[in-house]
Amino acid sequence: MIDASRNRMRVKACYGMMVTTIAACLIMVILGKRAAGRHESLTGQNMEKKAKWRQEFQLQQQEAASAAAMSGKAQ
Give CA torsion, residues 39, 43, 45, 51, to 10 deg: -130
CA distance 7 to 19: 18
Q: What is the pLDDT of residues 22-51, one digit of tens each?
A: 999 999 999 999 999 998 888 999 999 999
Q: What is the pLDDT of residues 45-68, one digit of tens each?
A: 999 999 999 999 999 999 988 888
Residue type (1 letter), 38: R
